[in-house]
Copies of this chain bind each other. A is one copy, B any other.
């Protein structure tokens, strides 16, 4: 069982995803600021995992303020939320988790008789753990729903890492669906897109497939079309960083191109994400903010220079796949069908 994020007595323990696959180490982050930095630098990444880590970061912040007076404990809470809010812009789970922790904090602190910061800290810790446990339960539910869509014999292509490492742990989102199909005895193999520039596929998804004993083949991102054309890909399954109300989906850069290639070859294209990755306040994908990361992550690979000195590089970390290129969106509540604007509205109306 891969434990991506865990609450321990000293803080938040997370597998260092920057050091995988060569080293498997689990540093502990002891303050909200340390957790925020881990999110920013991608020690932890993946939309659901970022949400869980942020919730735990807030719980850490509130805990460290438990000895302060009420006013300062509220101030510390707000600083902590603000620090986390500015780490990464695209994955909505971050904002979702902050909003949920904020709501809880407000309900605990807006009592007419005042509040005990120690008691609030305990309750906030419980809320963070609830988010963690819900995420794992979500993963299992998504995996079960999604596995039904995977053919009995299938080479499944996935992009980036939407596995246990992208969530609180255990299953993951897209890779969870693949794992469940494999566990059900379906004859599954995985095409692992290496996923430049950060190589989450090569470093993380290949590592998870290896751990789970799922047959897999690593490819560079530009090989996907070639193998689709040869009939060697039966479906594409990816995660999501933010889904708009109409089903447009922001996910790791390269996902959009894959969706076009899948359409060209009549290959089903599935998105797997918890409801917390859906942002019903955005009408379409055009409104999703796309993070622009450092060009050095393109010009250098693990500190090895691959381009001439001073080369200008672009680095949008995500792109948007339009709803019409997606066959189904799989959430913990079941499989969403088109038109997604209706099925998403129904999901939020429940």
Contact = CB atoms under 8 A, between A and B. Distances in A.
A25 interface: no
Interface of A: 21-22, 193-197, 199, 202-203, 206-207, 210, 216-227, 229, 253-254, 256-257, 260-261, 263-264, 295, 298-299, 301-302, 304-314, 316, 319
B203 A226 contact: no
Given A202-B299, A306-B202, A311 B226 contact: no
A195 B217 contact: no
Contacts of A299: 202, 218
Contacts of A219: 298, 313-314
B199 A220 contact: no
Nearest to A305: B22
Contacts of A307: 21, 194, 202-203, 206, 218
Number of copies: 2
Nearest to A254: B222
B301 A306 contact: yes
B304 A253 contact: no
A312 B264 contact: no
Contacts of A210: 308, 310-311
B217 A312 contact: yes
Nearest to A255: B222
Given A206-B311, A264-B260, A313-B217, A306 B199 contact: yes
Nearest to A22: B305
5 contacts: A196-B222, A225-B260, A226-B319, A227-B314, A257-B257
Contact of A223 (B194, B254, B304): B254
A346 B319 CA distance: 44
A308 B161 CA distance: 14
Contacts of A256: 225-226, 229
A31 to B, nearest CB: 31
A221 B220 contact: yes
A194 B298 contact: yes
